[in-house]
Structure 1
Amino acid sequence: MSTWFFYDLRRRYAEEGERALGPRSRAPKTVANRTAEWIEDEIVRLRKKLGEDGWDNGPATIWTHLRDEFAVESDIPSEATIWRILTRRGFITPEPKKAPKH
């Protein structure tokens, strides 16, 4: 056992007790490329507004409106990401998968 691991384990034991001796997850605590919450909220706002105004409110249209509103195109998520956000928020119900042809 290395010296640094011993002191790290001792510190964790002092903070967490016996739970510190168990296995720990090595997974990242956050997702690095997650779309910002304010962008997701803006996508939902545009979806509702376009629908109320009688316009097409699909991902391609939302992407176009975001591109027109924001100067930096690199901050705008792709159409596929917009679709996933709308699906996650309950605005799109995906169609069931088709059975493979034999």
Structure 2
Amino acid sequence: MADPMRIRAALAGDETTVRVLMSHPMEAGTRKDAAGATIPAHYIQDVEATSNGKTVLKAMFSGAVSQNPFLSFKFKGAAKGDKVVVKWVDNKGETRTDEVAIA
């Protein structure tokens, strides 16, 4: 399983800013190793963020996204102490889910 995501969520006025650093190799499947063999693709495909059970972000990634991707987004309708849950699924079916309370 991948390392935990680093998530920060801060409320300013009526808008919550979320910053997420995901730990993932994000291998596109086009590079070759030292022996000349192609390194298989392994990248995050779907990302979903929820707050209070409501989806606030859905994103689709591809192999074109860099290793350990950083994602930042804003949404309205949350309060301090509410949880933000971020989940990703990669092309090999592996998943990671982490959460943080809004500060």
Q: Is the radius of gyration larger for structure 1 or structure 2? A: 1
Q: TM-score, normalised by structure 2?
A: 0.23
Structure with greater helix percent: 1
Structure with greater strand percent: 2
Structure with the larger RCO, 1 or 2 (CA within 8 Å, 6+ apart): 2
